[in-house]
Each structure stands twice: as structure tokens, then as C-alpha cells.
Amino acid sequence: MRKGNADNFQLPKRPIQPNFSNLIRHGDVYIDKTGIIKTLLASQHNAVLLNRPRRFGKTLLLSTLEHILKGDKAKFETFAIGKSDSDYDWKTSHVIRLDMSRYGANANHIDFNLTDAIHRIAKRYGFSTNQVGSGPSLAALIEEIFDNYKDMPIKVGEKDIIPDTPYVAVLIDEYDFPFVINFNNPKTLHKIRDFFANFYSSLKSESEKIRFMIVTGITRLEEFTSFSGMNLFRDITFDPNYSTICGFTKIEIINNFRNKLSEAFESLKADKSLGPLKSTDDMLALIMDWYDGYSWDGKEKVLNPISILSFFDSFEFGRYWYDTGSPTFLQELQIKDNDYFTNFSNNSSFTASLTYSDTKTISPESSLLATGYLTVDSAEGGTSKIGYVGKTYHLKIPNMEVRISYAQDYLVSRLYPDISLNERTRFLNLSQAFCSQLCDINATDAAETLSSIFAGIPYDYHTELESFYKSHMNTVLAFARGFLTAEKHSGDGRPDFVLETRRQVLVIEIKYAKSDDPCVNSTLDNPSGVKQADIIHDDSGDTRSANPSVTTLPGVSLQQNDQQKWEEKTQIRSLIDSGITAALNQISDKNYASEYLDGSKRVWAVAVSILGRTAVKIQFAEISRK
């Protein structure tokens, strides 16, 4: 839903607008969240806490709430809350709106700047408060408005009107900003905690004069919300009723951006690196892979607004949301807990309480959820039907934007600390090509590309262990479309990887071997010593002369006859085919694919056999439903 004709909509060439009034005035797209807002305002809780990651539309939500609470009905005639069948009462009231990210990062600065902001609001109403400190000043402002509201008109549209009610609405954005920015500074945090305890206690003392209150941030600080002032707020972060209050759903994309989907398809349909794009449905599926997947109840999913609007502006898939944040917490984790990064990159399912139990013991999972690098995959257990109380949440990486960005910034650096920019670019390009070939069920090209990736591994990083190749495959597969899991319990064991896309499931098992023949190993250890064509294409019908001519094998300085070369290739093929057979048998015998056979997707067993540093063979076998 939006004002105007969605099919004729053109995205503005300016920063994305978080102000509802300006957005409507410019004719920009507005995804209608007013039906959910009406549910929120009609609920029995008039003080709520909502957390979402940065750049998810919290500021626009508060701006929209401000216009609704002021009774600016004319701006909402085309939206759910303003239609003729809506029973919203449109009572007008004064609104106090504050943004904690504007007032500084330590307790003294916050108190001084926030007090000044409250005094300026009072001055606009024609009076001044004599209170010292932000908490008492806000309490005095609320009292003055409540007692003298009829003498204080508010501007609604182009008119100054007297509110219908003395009750005040209070909207506070980025409530936890001072905590988040100082989470590594316990001394500062302690002072900030004391300041906010006083501030919200003053606010609580005026709660009977407040019509509606909402505070937004990125995380729930348990010790913060236990303040005597903050315990009046009900946490709706994980309430299913409000799971899509921020972000865009798939149906909202279809209804509001139909013309942009068509333009994107026409612009990108010839780009083979994106896979087959035969229709706008394929275009939409690719967009969903890149930017969808955020959830706070494990059921309803949304796309990040910054990412999707930026994509429609440029028709280029990029790291739009990821690059607007500062993923410094990921860097902190890399320093403090190296093993955790392996689990994170494997897209493992984490269990978390979803709170900062205290500011000294912040769990990585809770922090990554709060900042948007993980999201809720499913929720189970507990007796509470709302919120997070008593429930266990399983978390995952939400989409390709986050996973690929993380792989580019962290995984490659961890694998090759001294890698040059050119080598890094080569690795990224080859990895993306391999993932596309794998998802296209192109065994020959995928094996060739993977062989090139392994051949490019610096020799001093190489280890003759299967775990070494699985670790590298984990990073390579991070660039694939879809949902990647590593060593997920399934059937009677754990497959190395499962890559689930919107059309198919690839169950991947890797086998690595080393020959006992030193001549063969010498050939395999030389990146140019064996050609992939010699491995993939069978020439078993070839016959060799007893007295072959002398020749030189590429990459080998010692001259060898054809018979010796043929025997080496035969041994290489035998070893690598044994790996293929073992991998396929393991997938079948241990029922790795069983849980995926009840759906509509095609399911493939993917055997990857690796011999030495250069020899790779890949084989696909479609798994039929019994």
C-alpha cells in the first residue's frame, strides 16, 4: 500500500527518508504499516519497548506514530488506519519525541544535552521549566502540558488545533545508544546506568499523564530494563503481532515495486553470473535470497529497507545495509573467540536468551542478533505466548548480503592473513563462479574452478588433511545463493554441507586422498602437473604401445614415456573415483537427504573427491523420493 500509483513510482535520487511527512510530500514510497500500528495503539499496554537492528525503519516508525497521535488524519486517507472501515478514533494529543543518539556518549553530556533539548521543547510551548536535570525537566514538561493543554495548540497539517485530550505521548528513539557505544567501558557504563535509572524513574512518576510511550533500540539490556523506571515497559520485540512492523515483507515488495521488479529483470537478465533469470519471478527469488530472511518470531520474514531500496535505485546487488553499520563487534569476537567464527560461518543454529544479562557478560549470539548479523530461525518451548519469556530461540545468518559480506571481510582474511589484494579478488571471483556452477549442476566447470581455487592456495598454507579442504570449501560455499549449513545432524550422521536454495537441495560430501606413489604425488603437488581434463574425461579404451615415444608431462621436468603417464592417470582416476563412490555411498547409507525428500524441491547428492592439491572431481546424483 502506498500513496499514488505503485506502477508509476520512481525511486528518488536522494537519501532514504526517515520522516513520514517529507516522504509523503515528495510522493516517495511508503509501505503501509498503519494496520499494525493501530493494533499496537489499541493494545492494553501503553508503554512498550521495541528492538530492531540499525537502519530497519525505527525512526520512520516513530515519525509515523507522531503524526497519528497528533491526529493528522488527512495524511492517512489511503492507508489502512485512515480508511472508512477503520475504527481508529483519531484523538489528538501532544507528542514529545526524543532521540538518545543525539545527546552524547557519556552521562554528563547526555544529561546536559537532553535537558537542553527538553527546555527548548518547553520554550516552543511558551513556558520555561526551572528544573535541573533531564529527568525532572521532562516530568515538569509533561505536567505543564497535562494541566494547560487547552492553552497549547499543536500544528496538524497546516492548522493549529487544541488537542482532544490532556494526555501526552512520549516517543524515544535509540534508547540504548549510550550503552551500545560504551559496552567495552564498564566504568562509563556504570555512570550511564545510574543516569538512566533517574531519568526513567522521573518518567514513570508521570505515567498516569501519558497516553502512549514507546522506546526503540537494538537490544534488551536486562539490567537496564530492571530499573524502577523501565520496568513499566512491555517488550514487544519478539511478539508475533509486531514481527513485520519494521522491514518489508515479500508481498509488500510485490504490491509496491512491481515496475521496479520488471526494470530489474530487464537490466540483469543477460548477466550469466546471477544464474538463469527467465522471468520477474526469478528476479524476485534472487532479491529474496540476497536481502530477505530477517525474523523475530521464526515465522514472518522481512527484507531490510535500506538494502532493497538501494538495489532498486542501482540494479546492482551489493552490501548496502552491511556497509552502513560498523561491524566492529565482529572484529571484537575475532580477537576474543576464534573458534566462534567457525561456527558463525557454518550458519549453525544457536540457542540464545536474547538479552544482555549484564553489560560485563554479553553473549556473542545475543549481540549478533541485536546488530542484525544473526536472526531468529525458529522458537520453541516456554509457556509465554508473547515476547521471549520461557522460549528457546535458534538463530541463523539471515541472507546472502550478510553471509557474503562476512566471508569477504573475515573468512578470507582468516584463511590467508597475508593475501594480496589481487589474490583476494581472484579467490572471491572464483568462489562466486564455483557456487554458480554448482547450483547449475555443472560438474565439469565446477570441478575445474574448484581445482583452480585449490591450486591458488599458497604452498605454505597447505595441509594434507581432509579438514583443511573442508575449511576452504566452507569459505567458498559462503558465496552461494541459499541457506548453507555445515555438519548438520541428519539421518545417521552429519553431511559435510547442505546448500538449500529455493528450487533444490544439495547434500555435499567431501573426500580427500593422497597417493602412496611419490611420482603421482609429485605430479599432483605441482599446480600445473595434471590437467582437469585428464581426471574428468575417461579414456579407459586407450591402448598404449610397449615402446612409446618419449615426451614431457606439463609441469614435470623429468621426461617420462606415455606408458608411465598413462599409468599415473589411471591411478589418479582410480583414487579419485573411489572418493566419489565413497561420498555417494555415505550420503545414501546414512540417509543424509531424508528430511528434504517430502518437499517440492529437487534433491541432489553431491560428491566432491579431492586428490592432492590439484585433482578434483564432482559428481551429482539426484535422489528420488521413495
As given in the structure block, the three cell numbers for residue 453 are: 581455487
CATH code at 31-242: 3.40.50
Q: What is the pLDDT of residues 400-451, one digit of tens each?
A: 898 888 888 777 777 677 777 788 888 888 998 999 899 989 999 999 999 9
DSSP annotation of 624: P
pLDDT score for 520? 61
The span from the CA of 257 to the CA of 241, in Å, is 25
Percentage, residues of the chain above pLDDT 70 = 78
CA distances from 614 to 71, 105, 325, 522, 524 (A): 70, 54, 39, 11, 6
Q: Taking all residues of the chain, what is their mean pLDDT, rounded to a whole number? A: 81
The span from the CA of 284 to the CA of 275, in Å, is 13
Phi, psi at 561, each rounded to 5°: -85, 165
As given in the structure block, the three cell numbers for residue 183 are: 559496552
pLDDT at 528 over 80: no
Q: Pick the closest to residue 230 from 358, 47, 41 (CA basis).
A: 47
Q: What is the pLDDT of residues 140-178, one digit of tens each?
A: 999 999 999 888 888 887 888 999 999 999 999 998 888
Find the mean pLDDT for residues 259-280: 89
Local confidence band at 557 (pLDDT 50, 70, 90 cut-offs): very low
Phi, psi at 497, each rounded to 5°: -145, 150
| 3-class SS of residue 93 | coil
pLDDT at 290 over 90: yes
The span from the CA of 55 to the CA of 78, in Å, is 26
Higher pLDDT, 295 or 490: 295
Listed in order, the ranges of the chain carrying CATH 3.40.50 are 31-242
CA pseudo-torsion sign 354, 359, 361, 365? positive
As given in the structure block, the three cell numbers for residue 470 are: 573442508
* DSSP β-bridge partners for residue 611: 513, 615
Instruction: Point out the least confidently predicted range of 147-151, 266-270, 294-298, 343-347.
Output: 343-347
Q: What is the pLDDT of residues 89-145, one digit of tens each?
A: 999 999 999 999 999 888 889 999 999 999 999 998 888 877 889 999 999 999 999
Local confidence band at 192 (pLDDT 50, 70, 90 cut-offs): confident
As given in the structure block, the three cell numbers for residue 352 are: 540464545
Helices of type H across 407-505: 412-415, 421-439, 443-455, 466-477
506 in Cβ contact with 593 (< 8 Å): no
517, amino acid identity: D
Find the mean pLDDT for residues 27-51: 92
pLDDT score for 9? 44
Percentage, residues of the chain above pLDDT 90 = 39
Helices of type H across 26-133: 34-42, 58-69, 107-124
What's the longest Cα–Cα distance across the chain?
111
The span from the CA of 446 to the CA of 436, in Å, is 8
As given in the structure block, the three cell numbers for residue 208 are: 498516569
82-86, 196-200, 480-484, 565-569 — most confident range = 82-86
pLDDT score for 14? 44
121 in Cβ contact with 171 (< 8 Å): no
Find the mean pLDDT for residues 511-528: 67
Q: What is the pLDDT of residues 49-65, one digit of tens each?
A: 999 999 999 999 999 99
Distance between terminal CA atoms of the chain? Answer: 45
Q: What is the pLDDT of residues 3-31, one digit of tens each?
A: 444 444 444 444 466 888 888 887 788 99
- Write down the number of H helices and E strands in the chain: 24, 17
Strands 550-551 and 560-561 turn out to be: antiparallel
Higher pLDDT, 340 or 238: 238
| 3-class SS of residue 3 | coil
Predicted TM-score (pTM) above 0.85:
no
Phi, psi at 153, each rounded to 5°: -65, 155
484 in Cβ contact with 478 (< 8 Å): yes
314, amino acid identity: S
